[in-house]
Amino acid sequence: MIKIYRKTATIKAEQFDGSDEMVNRYGLIDCGGHIVDDLHVDNMCFIPTLEGRMKINRHDWIATGIKGEHWAISDDVFKKTYAELPVIPENVAYIIKQAKKGDYKLGWVFNATYLGLWRVSVGNWIRTHADTVARAWLDGYVVEGHK
């Protein structure tokens, strides 16, 4: 029986702009004008990957894996496959971290919010951004002002 799956891993990615700085940072190969099948192709680059060289075009994305390896993802595939992690305030991140550490469930965080256990500003943020809090709980998050 066929089942439907979703990706759960997070990656770091940067959109390739063709700049010399990015070419040098990622060790791209053969960037410059080329003749392919009698056509002149500008800025054709290849990125070294674990499987060998992979062609990369301007506006493709360079993904970085957990072991520091890089690979190219076309812009249209990237936009269909990945979404940025939600950005949340530091005090909300603290609540999520402590709740998970204490083996509480997400429902408890929302219930505690409506019971008024958090500072008013934190409770208001959680109530008005409930979907973002749920997404952060499930997928991870970035704290405002941190990179």
Q: Please, which pLDDT band fits residue 6 given cuts at 50, 70 and 90?
A: confident
The percentage of residues in the chain with a pLDDT greater than 70, rounded to a whole number, is 90
Buried b (16+ CB within 10 A) or exposed e, 13-42: beebeeeeebbeebebeebeeeeeeeeeee
Strand partners, 39: 36
Output the pLDDT for position 43: 58
Tens of pLDDT along 79-133?
998 889 999 999 999 999 999 999 999 999 999 999 999 999 999 999 999 999 9
Amino acid present at 138? L
pLDDT at 33: 55
Which whole number is the average pLDDT over 58-77?
Answer: 92
pTM, to two decimals = 0.70
| Domain residue ranges of the chain, discontinuous segments joined by + | 12-80, 87-143
Sign of the torsion formed by the C-alpha atoms of 122, 127, 128 and 134: positive
Q: What's the confidence (pLDDT) of residue 36?
A: 47
Angle at the Cα of 14 from the Cα atoms of 66 and 30, rounded to 5 degrees: 95
Residue 133: how many CB atoms within 10 A of its CB? 23
